Structure 1
């Protein structure tokens, strides 16, 4: 069973770099968590590298703009990698065709189609234009989330998905998360819609955590900063047992699971976790973090 730690400094010295989740770990969508920011700043001050690895469907420039807006300081991280970044490579390469139906909140997610972290992506987009069309005309689907993220559930899309499945459309999921907590409100993400589409017999494509493309991209960005880094030198930090922890395991990386995100309150107080309850919850499963903390601090 994983080691329960009280402070990130107890283990951080073992790693040259961390791949740290954002929502539920560093901020709640409205404001940063001061203790988490301080922990990341302290880690970087001692030479550690922080790559924020998020399942946000928007590309890096848009996410950095959001971090600036809500007050996450830039000295808390070195780079940002998103599911949006990883998905754009596939999208503009024609993975779901060149006439695509978009599902997602607009104009919030317009950046997926217009902003690029990598100049090569901008070139790819310019040379492989994709047209957004109604579902009846589409060759595939790109989903960045529900259209009305505060009001809709996956079931609202059953009729559209039946048509899409019948047409044989592939579904590109730009955010594999099932839910996320925006402040005190839990909302569905693109992953919940992709899950339903798959259950209905459709084909869904994923590029964010826990799937390999986002880790490949994160490793390339890390290599650009400090050169080749061994897996033993990287720690994944996050509150998603099915994304952050599973993804780390599949990549051969250690992980720090934060219980006070998506599983808040299930294992007692954040500063006095119930080891027995945690072990029971993990027992028999295949999601085994290396370490556990309540909150990043």
Structure 2
């Protein structure tokens, strides 16, 4: 039986067997994205929100009041909000940070992190020696796991939560040590797939940038955070727990500003996505009037060969 595909040679919108015409399919995909004025415009289509954190509801320095209000109203009128973050720390340890930044508890009901998903990978490599790359604040990731800290010369694998001093260091500072580890064939477990994150008005390198460098040196990398499946499995399970019933995946809306993490993750999981186009991308998709420019939004997504269901400048109700 022939596969049915969209074919531009067909009359009207008819479907017939044949090869997918890439330009036509691209136009079709673009037509499927909409630009809602706010989250409330989508409330009849979804039951659950899986929301990114950094870049959507805060910038590492302060929370975004309108985004927090939007998630609060969703939770009050529609259903649960599960935060899904690439923080390399377990979710229970990040709650205090959200509180300090002014993110109200009413804006979320569940929380899963890349750290939660990464602990399973660490346990699979324990007991043993590990080269821990990352700041001291991330040590909580290793609590209760039988691992001994070592250097690149004698560790059995690498666990990276970020740069040691992310305010001043860059990935190139690690090249020589990572080259030694790659030549030894060490596995690199990346606890935060983000390449960069916005901290105030600056972009800070994250563990994902070191993972990219390690791969370029021939090293093997594994990740559990966005855009990979493990963290979505945790988030959907948490949503089901909050709902008290199984979740219809067609009624889940992912919200995020990272194309290669949030949008690609939703895309790969076949979940709807609201792309927050400013966020980490700043004004790249914004015109002189402060409104989104559809072609610029599509350019951001096309660069990574992913699509979003909806797009918005900043998360608002």
Structure 1 length-normalised TM: 0.91
Deviation at 1:183, TM superposition (A): 0.6
Say whether 1:266 aligns with 2:284. Answer: yes
- After the TM superposition, which parts of structure 1 deviate over 3 Å for at least 4 consecutive aligned residues? 279-285
* Residues 135-167 of structure 1 deviation map (CA, whole Å, 9 limit, x = unaligned): 222000000001111111111111101110111
Q: Which has the higher contact order (CA 8 A, sep 6+)?
A: 1
Are 1:251 and 2:269 matched, yes or no?
yes
Equivalence for 1:119: none
- Please list the CA deviations of residues 9-40 of structure 1 after superposition, one character each: whole Å capped at 9, or x if unmatched: 01133111011000000001111100001000
Q: How does 1:1-297 map to 2 (within 5 A)?
A: 1=30, 2-94=33-125, 98-106=128-136, 108-114=137-143, 125=145, 129-226=146-243, 227-268=245-286, 272-283=291-302, 286-297=305-316
Whether the aligned pair in 1 keeps the contact of 2:259 and 2:300 (CA below 8 Å) is no
8 Å CA contact 1:6, 1:271 repeated in 2 = no
Deviations 1:80-135 (A, max 9, x none): 1000100011102217x6210100011x2122123xxxxxxx5xx3xxx1111222
User: What stretches of structure 1 of length at least 5 have no aligned partner?
Assistant: 115-121
1:234-293 deviation line (CA, Å, top 9, x unaligned): 010000111111110111100000011111101225852112332344447521100000
Size of the alignment, in residue pairs? 283
Residues 222 and 280 of structure 1: is their aligned pair in 2 closer, same or farther, counting only changes over 3 Å? closer
Shift of the 26–293 alpha-carbon distance from structure 1 to 2, 3 Å rule, reads same
Indicate the SS of the match to 1:109: helix
Q: Note the residue ranges of structure 2 that are not aligned, 5 or more in a row.
A: 1-29
CA deviations 1:178-219 (Å, max 9, x no partner) are: 000011111100000001101110000100000011011111
After superposition, the CA RMSD in angstroms is 1.5
SS at match of 1:35: helix
TM-score (structure 2 length as normaliser): 0.86
